[in-house]
Chain A
């Protein structure tokens, strides 16, 4: 069993209270809403159907980044170093959901630490930077992702990151430090300049934390080169024998993927993407439709998602077929759609839509 960080514990009285509140009798007395909807009247974090966290601290490592510490409720089950967690914050009445990787060791209890670069067009990161306050409520998803350290720690590791992609690999490093890792680990981090470094003081402290640790910070705007084969060769001559974890923008991922493929060691490379979604504002009927739950795909022909789902052989629920009754409401997980009633183009993120009045613009994934 891979160890995870310890969940916050409730005292005995708290646990007894929680058990009483979730008993059969309580369910019958609070039907149909359930005990949680009443528990939250008294303690909003004590509910059992969502993992609720509270912001316990907000820091500003650089001008264009923010660090948020979140204390989860007892439902939090921990994470494996390198995994990501979906954070949901209500902004202007709407829940905005994004994925972020906790940056601390997976063995550290207490609060979760998230450091994010502020996206100038982003809703959530801008909110966390300027409007969020200590005490604000955040809903946490379950930690997920295949990008994490193997259960048996390899003897040689290379952790490469650029910009805010540092968080998952930093989590890995701090986990190894907690485990008094005896192997060799090279931590290579690219950022534009010292002013953009998200974890300079911490990395300085960690330099001597492990016998086999070497930290290389490369400032790409002050003479340091972007990732290339010669550079890696000089920093880590034996990299072909190590397991390498890379997190950063597309350019870094492409470069590492190509190099490892050339060296025929692709199996030793593990990657995580940290890119902004590309939006397509193209109006022509193009793209692929993915009906995720049924595993079906279809080429977009521009008609409503309801019609195209039916043409693909699915039978989604529907009612009025004119956008009034909400019977056909589904979750669009990605892609843009046009509301045929208003002509408006949606965002390209996850949101609920009425498929009878939504026509895909480009590729769309639907959770049906």
Chain B
């Protein structure tokens, strides 16, 4: 990717330093303010999640309330994975000192192990956000999500594979760490290696499968098939929703992707700006924000991954102010608009094609009388 194609090159070293200080200041203010209000919030969300889970399991076994059971259980899984699990494992509530909300102990209702998730997400994805060839979330090894990923015939299946990813999100994320494409497509990984890495994944996966597809159905006796199907429905709801939210966060077309060279000697200010440029928000009601685990504020989450997500709404205006001051984009839009843009990208990239002009380059070409300073 050309170094000229990104907003990263529209700022001077001084600007980066100021931006870094500004974001650091926001962070410091929030961290000093954390207290009872945040503790009460997460405890309440956890309580509701457990209540929805118990209610869902019970209603699932009674034919008239079966559809409600699916909704309730699906809701509980969404809350557990997104507002609770993802956020707790980011260390957002470690300051509380409560072992049940500590990033080192927490495990979530998903086939993915906590350790694998923390390695792929907290470390890889958040450190190398949107850097092609380093951020595995760009495509998951399954899809072509960047113009800088060389086209292969298998990417003609981008659209149906994305649908598949949505449907089986829980289990495909669980094996993300294994980087199966290296074994199945590129031959850089042996069957033995995959087998070895799969062992801890299977250890958890089988317990998750047993819970939803063996034990709960068994308890229901003759109604086992109904419970089996209902649990599959609840998992499907969570899978499709979680995948959609996550895709909206980094794949709308105006979100930037970066070349590996940008992380060499990256300053704190540059890191902040890369997080900003590589993420997108979507708008919605308070319920929408809660259901998305506040990943509707993907930008704020990427700037401050270890700050409790319930705080992102109040930080958004401050972040927007910094963007306005520095003439940086703040990617946001209605959920459907971000989703449509994402699917457009998926469709376009399934075909081989020339690299499109990035927003920064387009801007430069239209404002020809102004010389933008290159990054130092």
Give chain A's interface residues, CB within 8 Å of chain B: 25, 28-29, 31-33, 37-38, 41, 50, 88, 90, 92-97, 319-320, 322, 324-327, 329, 341-342, 344, 351-352
Indicate whether B37 reaches chain A with its CB closer than 8 angstroms: yes
Kindly state the separation between the CA atoms of A97 and B35 in the bound complex, as whole angstroms.
Answer: 16
Query: A94 near B50 (CB under 8 angstroms)?
Result: no
Interface-facing stretch out of B10-18, B59-67, B118-126: B118-126
Residues in A whose Cβ lies below 8 Å from that of B318: none
Kindly state the separation between the CA atoms of A90 and B126 in the bound complex, as whole angstroms.
Answer: 31
Query: B123 near A93 (CB under 8 angstroms)?
Result: no
Query: B39 near A90 (CB under 8 angstroms)?
Result: yes
Indicate whether B103 reaches chain A with its CB closer than 8 angstroms: yes
Query: A94 near B95 (CB under 8 angstroms)?
Result: yes
Taking the nearest CB of chain A, how far is it from the CB of B224, in angstroms?
Answer: 15
Contacts A25-B215, A319-B127; A92 near B35 (Cβ below 8 A): yes
Residues in B whose Cβ lies below 8 Å from that of A41: 47, 50-51, 54
Residues in B whose Cβ lies below 8 Å from that of A93: 34-40, 95-96
Partner of B24, one of A96, A324, A342: A342
Residues in A whose Cβ lies below 8 Å from that of B108: 32
Taking the nearest CB of chain B, how far is it from the CB of A315, in angstroms?
Answer: 16
Give chain B's interface residues, CB within 8 Å of chain A: 24, 27-28, 34-40, 47, 50-51, 54, 57, 90-91, 94-100, 102-104, 107-109, 118-119, 122-123, 126-127, 204, 207-208, 210-211, 215-216, 219, 268, 271, 305-306
Query: A32 near B107 (CB under 8 angstroms)?
Result: yes
Query: A31 near B90 (CB under 8 angstroms)?
Result: no
Partner of A94, one of B27, B37, B97, B207: B97
Kindly state the separation between the CA atoms of A351 and B91 in the bound complex, as whole angstroms.
Answer: 13
Kindly state the separation between the CA atoms of A327 and B50 in the bound complex, as whole angstroms.
Answer: 27
Residues in B whose Cβ lies below 8 Å from that of A29: 57, 211, 215-216, 219
Taking the nearest CB of chain A, how far is it from the CB of B301, in angstroms?
Answer: 12
Residues in B whose Cβ lies below 8 Å from that of A88: 97
Query: B126 near A325 (CB under 8 angstroms)?
Result: yes
Kindly state the separation between the CA atoms of A32 and B210 in the bound complex, as whole angstroms.
Answer: 12
Q: Which residue of B has the minimal Cβ distance to A318?
A: B123
Query: B35 near A94 (CB under 8 angstroms)?
Result: yes
Contacts A31-B207, A93-B37; A326 near B91 (Cβ below 8 A): yes
Query: A325 near B127 (CB under 8 angstroms)?
Result: yes
Contacts A29-B216, A319-B119; A95 near B207 (Cβ below 8 A): no
Taking the nearest CB of chain A, how far is it from the CB of B95, in angstroms?
Answer: 6
Partner of B126, one of A33, A50, A320, A352: A320
Kindly state the separation between the CA atoms of A319 and B99 in the bound complex, as whole angstroms.
Answer: 22
> Considering the complex of A and B, which 3 residue pairs feature the smallest CB-CB distances, nearest first?
A93-B39, A95-B97, A319-B123
Kindly state the separation between the CA atoms of A25 and B109 in the bound complex, as whole angstroms.
Answer: 17
Kindly state the separation between the CA atoms of A344 and B208 in the bound complex, as whole angstroms.
Answer: 42
Between A94, A95, A96, A324, the greatest number of chain B beta carbons within 10 A of the residue's beta carbon is seen for: A324
Taking the nearest CB of chain B, how far is it from the CB of A141, in angstroms?
Answer: 12
Contacts A28-B210, A90-B96, A319-B127; A326 near B35 (Cβ below 8 A): no
Taking the nearest CB of chain B, how far is it from the CB of A263, in angstroms?
Answer: 45
Query: A325 near B35 (CB under 8 angstroms)?
Result: no
Given contacts A319-B123, A325-B305, 10 further A-B contacts (CB under 8 A): A28-B215, A31-B207, A33-B109, A92-B35, A92-B36, A95-B96, A322-B127, A326-B90, A326-B91, A326-B306
Residues in B whose Cβ lies below 8 Å from that of A351: 97
Taking the nearest CB of chain B, how far is it from the CB of A306, in angstroms?
Answer: 14
Kindly state the separation between the CA atoms of A29 and B102 in the bound complex, as whole angstroms.
Answer: 22
What DSSP secondary structure best describes chain B's contact surface?
helix
Taking the nearest CB of chain B, how far is it from the CB of A22, in angstroms?
Answer: 16
Contacts A90-B98, A324-B306; A329 near B104 (Cβ below 8 A): yes
Taking the nearest CB of chain B, how far is it from the CB of A356, in angstroms?
Answer: 12
Taking the nearest CB of chain A, how far is it from the CB of B90, in angstroms?
Answer: 7
Taking the nearest CB of chain B, how far is it from the CB of A11, in angstroms?
Answer: 24
Residues in A whose Cβ lies below 8 Å from that of B51: 41
Kindly state the separation between the CA atoms of A325 and B216 in the bound complex, as whole angstroms.
Answer: 36
Residues in A whose Cβ lies below 8 Å from that of B97: 88, 90, 94-97, 351-352
Q: Which residue of B has the minimal Cβ distance to A91?
A: B36
Partner of A329, one of B96, B103, B271: B103
Taking the nearest CB of chain B, how far is it from the CB of A96, in angstroms?
Answer: 8
Partner of B305, one of A31, A94, A324, A341: A324
Kindly state the separation between the CA atoms of A88 and B39 in the bound complex, as whole angstroms.
Answer: 15
Q: What are 9 contact pairs spanning A and B, CB under 8 A?
A: A31-B207, A31-B208, A94-B39, A94-B96, A95-B97, A320-B126, A322-B127, A324-B127, A352-B95
Query: B28 near A342 (CB under 8 angstroms)?
Result: yes
Kindly state the separation between the CA atoms of A307 and B189 in the bound complex, as whole angstroms.
Answer: 32
Partner of A327, one of B94, B122, B210: B122
Between A31, A50, A341, A342, the greatest number of chain B beta carbons within 10 A of the residue's beta carbon is seen for: A31
Partner of B122, one of A319, A322, A352: A319
Taking the nearest CB of chain A, how far is it from the CB of B364, in angstroms?
Answer: 31
Residues in B whose Cβ lies below 8 Å from that of A28: 207, 210-211, 215
Taking the nearest CB of chain B, how far is it from the CB of A55, in angstroms?
Answer: 18
Residues in B whose Cβ lies below 8 Å from that of A325: 118, 122-123, 126-127, 305
Query: B122 near A326 (CB under 8 angstroms)?
Result: yes
Q: Which residue of B has the minimal Cβ distance to A320?
A: B127
Residues in B whose Cβ lies below 8 Å from that of A38: 50, 54
Taking the nearest CB of chain B, how far is it from the CB of A337, in angstroms?
Answer: 15
Taking the nearest CB of chain A, how far is it from the CB of B23, in angstroms?
Answer: 11
Taking the nearest CB of chain A, how far is it from the CB of B264, in angstroms?
Answer: 14
Kindly state the separation between the CA atoms of A94 and B107 in the bound complex, as whole angstroms.
Answer: 21
Kindly state the separation between the CA atoms of A25 and B35 in the bound complex, as whole angstroms.
Answer: 37
Taking the nearest CB of chain B, how far is it from the CB of A365, in angstroms?
Answer: 17
Taking the nearest CB of chain B, how far is it from the CB of A167, in angstroms?
Answer: 25
Residues in B whose Cβ lies below 8 Å from that of A31: 207-208, 211
Kindly state the separation between the CA atoms of A41 and B49 in the bound complex, as whole angstroms.
Answer: 11
Query: A326 near B39 (CB under 8 angstroms)?
Result: no
Kindly state the separation between the CA atoms of A344 and B27 in the bound complex, as whole angstroms.
Answer: 13
Between A92, A93, A329, the greatest number of chain B beta carbons within 10 A of the residue's beta carbon is seen for: A93
Residues in A whose Cβ lies below 8 Å from that of B24: 341-342
Kindly state the separation between the CA atoms of A93 and B96 in the bound complex, as whole angstroms.
Answer: 6
Taking the nearest CB of chain B, how far is it from the CB of A52, in angstroms?
Answer: 12
Residues in A whose Cβ lies below 8 Å from that of B305: 324-325
Taking the nearest CB of chain B, how far is it from the CB of A197, in angstroms?
Answer: 35
Q: Which residue of A has the minimal Cβ distance to B129?
A: A324
Residues in A whose Cβ lies below 8 Å from that of B28: 342, 344
